[in-house]
Chains A and B, each alone.
Chain A
């Protein structure tokens, strides 16, 4: 697989895996409005994933399509970051993940609008408006839960503490990305971190939450080394497609 295909796959897998996780909230959210919100966010991410995986398949040039990539790859072939594959946990943990991830994704897509890859730039320009909504949604809930009752504050702080170390992987940079940055296709993720810290730090402070201070930074997703959670998630996501190859509605 070429560098461009691999990089596009990372972006597409982040969107696809998080879409699948968020859709697990369907009919289980705390209220109807949240059910709609989380599944709408999942739908946006799924749309982004389809465009990105189609592009990755095209760049790969091996005759695969978006469905082959989504449904017929094994766990070790997925290139998403570890943060998006984690089980939803309680509502606070889902919100913490949304805050940390959407703040990163917004900065990323904002910069990718200038990519020399026309498809990446097109997907990013479309998605940046959607992700701005996702970040607003997570921000509002973080404020409400953090600066809420004693119980909601405790659970939101636990959620931020638990999720925080997983965000570090999003800002990793490697040789593959470096080559694409030189071709002005990709973004140097390290450069996204200061604005992310500034935004997320501001939200946490306003929500009366402590910004975690830890050097722990699990990694490996971009190389296909995932946590136990991904295999279980994929088993559910891929079961229909694998049981009924080629089935259509």
Chain B
């Protein structure tokens, strides 16, 4: 028999991100874990950015989906440390982002200025892209434009 914590984790991994609904919280790596202690289940979430406004709706969605799946005694907690990084985003998540038109974060050392990063256009694949502004529609995105296909696009910042 599969443990309750694992079953709940599978249920919750499919909760969509409210700002980039093509991604689930499982893809993003912000569903940090589900622990069972004497019948009580504790779900640990971590925000992407300190002020990410999506975390409250995510919290509610997680509690709602757990209740709908028949888990009665569930507590949702937020944990900051260790800090989330885009390295926790799954390969599946990166693929979904690219197909959605958002350039996924690249693997790189933290602290390297964004301007030096070569971001590939999610539409045509060209590396001839230009940073328009490092702050985009959500805290985790920057705006780029492609010099080859001339399309503007968002880039999920490596963080």
Q: Chain A: how many interface residues by the 8 Å CB criterion? A: 28
Please name 9 further chain A to chain B contacts, defined as beta carbons within 8 Å, in addition to the given A40-B136, A51-B50, sorted by A numbering: A33-B143, A36-B133, A40-B135, A47-B51, A122-B82, A125-B80, A126-B47, A126-B80, A129-B83
Cβ–Cβ < 8 Å partners of B136 in chain A: 36, 40
Cβ–Cβ < 8 Å partners of B135 in chain A: 33, 36-37, 40-41, 133, 137
Complex-state Cα separation, A207 to B11, whole angstroms: 54
- Which of the residues A125, A130, A132 comes within 8 Å of B82, measured between beta carbons? A125
A43: interface (CB < 8 Å): yes
Cβ–Cβ < 8 Å partners of A123 in chain B: 50, 80
Complex-state Cα separation, A45 to B49, whole angstroms: 10
B33: interface (CB < 8 Å): no
Q: A33-B132, A47-B49, A51-B80 are in contact. Are A129 and B159 (CB under 8 A)?
A: yes
Cβ–Cβ < 8 Å partners of A132 in chain B: 111
Q: Are B49 and A125 in contact (CB under 8 A)?
A: no
Using a CB–CB distance below 8 Å, which chain B residues touch chain A?
A: 47, 49-53, 79-84, 110-111, 113-114, 132-137, 139, 143, 159
Most A CB contacts (10 A, CB to CB) among B82, B110, B136, B139 go to: B139
What distance in Å separates the Cβ of A94 from its nearest Cβ neighbour in chain B? 15
Cβ–Cβ < 8 Å partners of A51 in chain B: 50, 80
Q: A121-B81, A125-B81, A136-B134 are in contact. Are A47 and B114 (CB under 8 A)?
A: no
Q: A36-B133, A36-B137, A132-B111 are in contact. Are A46 and B80 (CB under 8 A)?
A: no
Encode A110-124 as 1/0 by CB contact (under 8 A) with B: 000000001101110
A163: interface (CB < 8 Å): no
Cβ–Cβ < 8 Å partners of A127 in chain B: 50
A75: interface (CB < 8 Å): no
- Which of the residues A33, A43, A48, A125 comes within 8 Å of B139, measured between beta carbons? A43
Q: A51-B80, A123-B80 are in contact. Are A130 and B134 (CB under 8 A)?
A: no
Cβ–Cβ < 8 Å partners of A147 in chain B: none
Q: A33-B132, A36-B135 are in contact. Are A46 and B111 (CB under 8 A)?
A: no
The tally of CB-CB contacts under 8 A between chains A and B is 74
Complex-state Cα separation, A43 to B159, whole angstroms: 16
Q: Are A122 and B81 in contact (CB under 8 A)?
A: yes
Q: Which 4 A-B pairs have the closest CB atoms?
A: A47-B51, A47-B50, A122-B81, A33-B133
A77: interface (CB < 8 Å): no
Complex-state Cα separation, A121 to B82, whole angstroms: 9
What distance in Å separates the Cβ of A150 from its nearest Cβ neighbour in chain B? 26
Q: Are B50 and A130 in contact (CB under 8 A)?
A: yes
A44: interface (CB < 8 Å): yes
Q: What are 26 A-B contacts defined by CB distance under 8 Å?
A: A33-B132, A33-B143, A34-B133, A36-B133, A36-B135, A37-B134, A37-B135, A43-B139, A44-B49, A44-B51, A48-B50, A51-B50, A51-B80, A119-B80, A121-B81, A122-B81, A122-B82, A123-B80, A126-B83, A127-B50, A129-B83, A130-B50, A133-B134, A133-B135, A136-B134, A137-B134
A residues 20-64 near B (Cβ < 8 Å) are: 33-34, 36-37, 40-41, 43-48, 50-51
What distance in Å separates the Cβ of A135 from its nearest Cβ neighbour in chain B? 10
Cβ–Cβ < 8 Å partners of B134 in chain A: 37, 133, 136-137
